[in-house]
Chain A
Amino acid sequence: MYENAYKKKPDSEEILNALFMAYVRIGNYKKQQQVAMALHKLRPQKNPYYFWAVMSIVMQAYENENLANSMFLPLAGKMVEKFINEGRLEAEAEVRIYLIILQSMAKFEEALKVLKGPLSEKLVSEPDFPSFLEVELLTKLELWTTVNTAYKRLIESNPDSWQCYKEYLRSSFILIDAHSNAEEGVVNCSDTAADDTVERVVEFLSTMVRRDRDSRESATPPQLPYPIRGPYLGRLELLRILKDRNDVNWNKVLGNPLELICQYYDQFGDKPCCFSDLQLYAALLSESEKQQMITELLAKLGIQSQDGQIVMATDIKVIQRHILLIQLSRYYGFHRQMETDKCLSLAEELLRRYTDGLKFGESLTSTDQQYVDSYMLLLIHLLHDVAVSTKNDQYIWHALVLLEMSLTKSPTNSQLKLLAIQLYAQIGAFMPCYNLYESLEIKHIQHDTLGYVVCNHVLRLGHLSVAHTIFDNTLRFFASVHKDTSDYLISCYKYGSFPKVQEFVQFRHRLQNSLQFAICTAEKLLLDIISNASSHQMTVDIINGMDIDPMTEQTDFKSLCDNRDDSIVFSCEPNKVVDKKELKQKSFLEEKAWLHIRNLTARCLVTAVRLGSPLAGGTTAPESAAIRNGSDAKTVKLRDVLVRLRGELAQCLTDSRQLNKSQMTNDLCLDLYRTRLSAFMRLDLGDRFLIVLDLLLSSELHQNSQQDGQKAASISFSPAQKPAKSLSSLTQENRKPMVMVCGGEERRQIVVEMLENSVLLAEHISQVTIVLGACHEILKPIKASLNKKGKKKKEMDPVMVSVFESYDSFLSETLSAVGDLQEAFSEPLTGDNLAFQLDALKIENSNLLFQHVDDTLESSIRKKVTASYQTTAAEIKTLLDRKLRYLENLKF
């Protein structure tokens, strides 16, 4: 539109401006550049236009790496230099863009010159920017002695800056290595101020520590109300590096590491962040030193009497230190080595301390957390450990009761809520999860980063209507991503925030290729296809109303970004047990595999319905040759599409089977939850779906051969293997009570698989129903014409007979599976039955931990859980009822 306006009025600044913005929106950098230059010619006195063009060239360089260094960047650089030489450079943004260009071209020396020259006077908006960029450039140039002294200066003026310590140490060790590599006597730079020996590094860090101590001891009031952690953590970091380098003196240069860590604890142990600090340096201690440290520091706290009795803490700082020690011992893996009894008695102690410590928080407001909430978190983990080791879900139940109790004291603590969500999900009760999730006020971009907290559970546990809500909310956020990011991309040009341009573009890319986005899109599509229809005509209408091209895969799997923020759950799990990075990687692979299966399933369903749906005019009525040919062409094409998709799905299942072997299928980790892939594979639902697709394909093949009076061509794929277990045996196996008594009378287990399997089976049946519906459409006219011919069965092609036979057996098997599933859901999930079952989860035990539980609280939890199970049952039953009617209409 603006292009036309521009042609009419080539000298309108306004129109050109709008045109430039339009190109920014669609990311056409080349056109951006041209329009910006036109603007510059029109208004040569306005610098920004010229630099819009420069930035547009820089973006072309990012887009086209091949031409970046040979063409775009040098051109952009020359354009800026022209202005510099003419003395026309005005704004800070213009200097920044020049620096970007020079850095992209690896002209670090030139960039340094800019920083030291007159242009640097324009760099005012970020006070620290020039000095930090300077060392960054020096680092790029590998001028390590200069880098080292620069970071020393930065540390001196900024003694709590972690980045500076890290870089300082890095450069020191590069210098140290350079020394040892060089031949003796050749290199001697000890006359510089750089720290090129371990001794000098030790000296410098010790000076920083001394300075911090002096500044707090001498000044009154102290200059800094808070001691700074920098110098102390810097020393520990030095030890970590030395140890990693297998330096023989690593544990001598600064004295005993255990002592250093204890010193750190003395100084910062009452800060909640101390755990994450010391977590980084766990490897500095041997197993026995860790034990020794915890034992000694616990004794020093004085909250345990001589005979091992618990003495309550007298202030919050002591509590915080105690919490830290328990967190560290969990992180060191000590909890995992404890017997059940020990775990429970520690949990009991923590509960007593929690209850007592609540008194310190009486004056807190409702938005504050209790000081003792961390006790609760730790004790829930202990109970979870016990539940896993004893395979007894009573402990999970009890943990939930305690969590709900603590949430009444600390109603906004997100950690408590996240734990409760995970535990409710483990026992298969989704409604309480969702309510807690909603209370976290998840919105906007958090749909992307935190949606995973409930997303994998909502369908697993069959809450279809909430699933709709979740997907809709998520997709609404993503729907405006393009507009939102483009609008502010334009602002970046307007305000000259050039460094942000590429950042915004990458941000948009990350959002548009979000895993969560792709999952929600796929699952919503599948849900829309299967949920409402109670007849094939309804399915046809639904599919016709969708704007989908089953030919193309919507997800670009190579660009998919995992934006899930899995760092929200505070964890003291030992690294050996839970490697978070590895877990996330595994989970991402599994999510991708599952997503692929889901995408293909949806595409197969859409194609199947289109293949079966009567085309305009119908296939039986006489019609003009032109239309016939046209429609045939379409059918043939759809058939090819379905054959291809079927092949892809089969391949995808094979790959997933491979992946599934190494996947996390246990629910031990309170973290990223598995997908439904493992259960799907266990039930062979993928193969079952392939078989029904095969039935459709062979029906369609024979339909064509009948019409053309030719022999059926051979089927162009190898038919899927029939799974060992029949569908009806699966549905029958699934009839179990929700709570089972195991191991004599000792243990209780909540049979969540029952719910999960039933939901998967119901979903599978719905998909099968749709494919059968498509088959029915194809077979109907054949059957009709056969009937017309006067029931002479002899005339019928024997292959056709077998098609009809397998159709009938499929239909009846599916029908009986529906009945079985409905029964499985009815009896054990009635209110009375459930209440009785859940009652068995109470623990009778003299341990204090299991007493003093508020009965009303427990019964309210029982009600919530019961209601949630019943919602699952009701939703699935409604789905099955619809499919029952659907299937009844498919009988011949």
Chain B
Amino acid sequence: MTTIRPFTCDDLFTFNNVNLDPLTETYGLPFYLQYLAHWPEYFQAAESPSGEIMGYIMGKAEGPADNWHGHVTALTVAPEYRRLGLAAKLMSSLEDISEKKKCYFVDLFVRVSNRVAVDMYKRLGYIVYRRVLEYYSGDVDEDAFDMRKALSHDTEKKSIVPFTRDVRPEELE
């Protein structure tokens, strides 16, 4: 049982039960404010009956011409609210918005080691478009999968023909 609603500034004060998760990064204020100012419709929170933030999704729409696409910047769900289909719900709302904006596809990056997430995205219809080498920096750099799902505007499904080779982060446009 969930209320999906726009993420607001005040949620930054109470999203800690979600962000204390080790794989969820807490960014500086400008990062969140930039998304809230530019793509407010792409920033959604899921709230529990007790008023707690269960998870949130942030994204944006960008790209020139037929590369116009929705992008998932962050998607996270607090540990106690996992396995309820919440991530799928948040993803589908982002896809709906991208459809309305006449995007051709939705893409996202995910750690190759994050098996649970990769499998979930596959279940939701995403394919591995390409591998981005050493995309995540850390003690040991880690590769990312660039995953994509075509939207209805991409009638020929051109956007999800897998790229032929791995790329480096600096090659990403």
Contact = CB atoms under 8 A, between A and B. Distances in A.
Interface string B30-55: 10011011101100000111101010
B79 A272 contact: yes
Given A365-B113, A565-B14, A497 B81 contact: no
Contacts of A369: 79
Given A279-B50, A367-B23, A125 B101 contact: yes
A481 interface: yes
A497 B48 contact: no
Interface string B1-27: 111111011101110110111110011
B14 A567 contact: yes
B83 interface: yes
- Size range of the chain A interface in the assembly: 35 or more
A485 interface: yes
A448 B16 CA distance: 11
A504 B17 CA distance: 23
B165 interface: no
A126 B89 CA distance: 15
B167 interface: no
Contacts of A129: 41
Contact of B49 (A277, A367, A506): A277
Given A161-B2, A446-B26, A492-B37, A503 B16 contact: no
B50 A280 contact: yes
Nearest to B51: A567
Interface string B126-139: 00000000000000
Interface string B74-85: 000001111111
A162 B83 CA distance: 18
B50 A276 contact: yes
A162 B3 contact: yes
Interface string A466-499: 0000000000000011001101110110110101
Contacts, number: 149
B85 A563 contact: no
Given A414-B20, A499-B40, A565-B13, A488 B80 contact: no
A162 B16 contact: no
A449 interface: yes
Given A163-B5, A449-B16, A276 B48 contact: yes
Contact of A126 (B19, B26, B49, B97): B97
A793 interface: no
Contacts of B101: 124-125
A229 B81 CA distance: 12
Interface residues of B, number: 51
Given A272-B80, A497-B36, A441 B96 contact: no
A626 to B, nearest CB: 52
Contacts of B96: 127
Interface string A105-133: 00000000000000000001111110000
A722 interface: no
Contact of A445 (B13, B36, B47, B81): B13
A128 to B, nearest CB: 8
B28 A484 contact: yes
Contacts of B9: 503-504, 506-507
Contacts of A503: 8-10, 36
A440 B22 CA distance: 8
A68 to B, nearest CB: 22
B29 interface: yes
A298 B83 CA distance: 24
Q: Which 6 pairs from chain A and chain B are nearest by CB?
A: A507-B9, A488-B33, A491-B37, A414-B20, A272-B80, A412-B22
16 contacts: A124-B101, A125-B97, A126-B97, A127-B96, A279-B50, A365-B113, A369-B79, A414-B20, A495-B38, A500-B36, A507-B12, A565-B14, A565-B16, A567-B14, A567-B17, A568-B20
Given A446-B26, A500-B37, 14 more contacts: A125-B97, A160-B1, A162-B3, A226-B83, A229-B84, A271-B84, A369-B79, A445-B13, A445-B29, A446-B16, A487-B33, A488-B36, A495-B38, A499-B40
Interface of A: 124-129, 160-163, 165, 224-226, 228-230, 233, 271-273, 276-277, 279-280, 365, 367, 369, 412, 414, 440-441, 443-446, 448-450, 480-481, 484-485, 487-489, 491-492, 494-495, 497, 499-500, 503-504, 506-507, 510, 563, 565, 567-568, 570
